[in-house]
Amino acid sequence: MTDDTETSQTSLYEHSAYYKGIIKRSLRYLDTGYPLHFTGPSGIGKTTLALHIAKQRKRPVMLINGNKDLSTEDFIGAFTGYKRRKLKDNYVRSVHKIEENVTESWSDGRLLEAVKKGYTLVYDEFTRSKPEINNIFLPILEEKILPLYGTKQKRSFIKVHPDFSVIFTSNPVEYAGVYKTQDALLDRMVTLTLGSLEKEAEITAVINKTEIEREKAQAIVEFMMKIRKLCHTSQDFQGPSLRASIMIAELAKRYDIPINGSNEEFNQLCFDITWFPLQACMEDKHKQRAKRQLVQECKKITLG
Ligand SMILES: Nc1ncnc2c1ncn2[C@@H]1O[C@H](COP(=O)(O)OP(=O)(O)OP(=O)(O)O)[C@@H](O)[C@H]1O
C-alpha cells in the first residue's frame, strides 16, 4: 500500500465518529489478546480497515489471503532441500580426509514467522481456505502455541509471541458457497459486522480515493444509494458497493466524462458498473423493471 493510499484512508477514519469508535474498540480487543473479525459484504472496506488497524499496532504487518490451495506448509513451513557441507583436510600431504555433512534445510511458513516474531496478521477472506487448514488457529488462540507436528521438526510446538495478533476478514455470502466457518474458531474471535457506509462517509471515501470534486462524488454516491434501494433479496447482497462508486468516479475523471445523465458515455459507465451487482440482489422477475429504473436514475443526474 502506498503512502498516498494510507493518507486518504486515514482521512475518512479520522473524520468519522463511526470509524473512530470501531478503531478504538478494535485496538482494545487486540491489545487484550482477542483476535478480531470483520465481516460484511464485498467492497465495503473490510480489508482496508483491517490493514489500517493492524498498522496502528506498531508491529510488522503480514497479509495472508485465504484460498482453497493454502496448505499447512504455507502456514508452518517445510523442508525445502538439502544443504551439503564438504570439508577437505589436506593438512598432512600424504593424508586426504573428506568429511561430508548433509542436512535438510527448513524454511519457515508465513504463519510461523508471524507467530514467532509477534507480527500483526491480517488473514483476509479466511473462509475461502479449507476449514482443516484454519484449525491451526485454535491452539494459537486458545493455548498460545503453534503445534509443529507432521513437519518432522524436533520441537513439537512453538510458543506464540506475546505481541502476535490476528485480524480476520470474511464475506458472509461466501460461507454458504465456499466452506462453512468453524463455530469453534468464530467463538474465539470478536466479530464486528460492517454495513454499508453512511452517505457522508462514502462521499469522503470516494473523494479521498479518486480526488474527484465533492459535488461529483456526492452525485455519484446519491445515485448509488438509490440503486441499492432497488435490491430485493437478503441484506448480504447489497448491490453495488463503495467499490462501484469509486470505479465510476475514477473512470469519469480519467476520461473526462461529465457526471451528467444527458451524456451517453456517462450513461453507459453507470450501467456497466452497476447492473451486474444490482441484478445479483434480486430475483429474475424483478430484473427488467430494475434495469429500466437504473437507466432512469442515471439520466436524472445533472452535473456539468
Ligand atoms: N476508508 C477508505 N477510504 C478510501 N477508500 C477506501 C476506504 N475503504 C475502502 N476503500 C476502497 O474501497 C475499495 C474496497 O475496499 P476493500 O477491498 O477494503 O473492501 P472489502 O470489504 O475488503 O472487499 P472484499 O470483500 O471484496 O475483499 C478499495 O478500492 C479500497 O481502496
Ligand 1 mean position to 197 CA, how many Å?
11
Q: What is the DSSP string of 161-204?
A: PTT-EEEEEE-THHHHHS-PPPHHHHTTSEEEE--PPPHHHHHH
Q: Tell me what pLDDT residue 282 has.
A: 87
Q: Tell me what pLDDT residue 2 has.
A: 40
Ligand 1 and 43: CB distance under 6 A: yes
Percent helix, strand, coil in the chain (nearest 5)?
A: 50, 20, 35
Beta carbons of 108 and 116 less than 8 angstroms apart: yes
Q: Tell me what pLDDT residue 235 has.
A: 54
Ligand 1 and 11: CB distance under 6 A: no
Ligand 1 and 204: CB distance under 6 A: no
Nearest CA to ligand 1 atom 31: 48
Nearest CA to ligand 1 atom 9: 45
Ordered by start, the domain boundaries in the chain are: 3-74+109-193, 199-299
Ligand 1 mean position to 246 CA, how many Å?
9
Q: Tell me what pLDDT residue 118 has.
A: 95
Write the CATH number of the domain with boundaries 3-74+109-193: 3.40.50.300
Residues of the chain with pLDDT under 70: 1-10, 81-104, 149-153, 173-181, 233-237, 304
What stretch of H or E contains 138? helix 137-142
Ligand 1 mean position to 84 CA, how many Å?
48
Q: What does the alpha-carbon distance between residue 160 and residue 154 come to, in Å, rounded to a whole number?
A: 17
Cell of 289: 423493471
Ligand 1 mean position to 228 CA, how many Å?
17
Ligand 1 mean position to 266 CA, how many Å?
23
Query: Which of 8, 15, 47, 220 has most ligand 1 atoms within 8 Å of CB, for mutation?
Result: 47
Ligand 1 and 238: CB distance under 6 A: no
Q: Tell me what pLDDT residue 103 has.
A: 67
pTM for the full predicted model: 0.83
The two beta strands, 36-39 and 165-170, are: parallel
Nearest CA to ligand 1 atom 13: 243
Ligand 1 and 48: CB distance under 6 A: yes
Report which ligand 1 atom has the smallest distance to the Cα of 241.
14
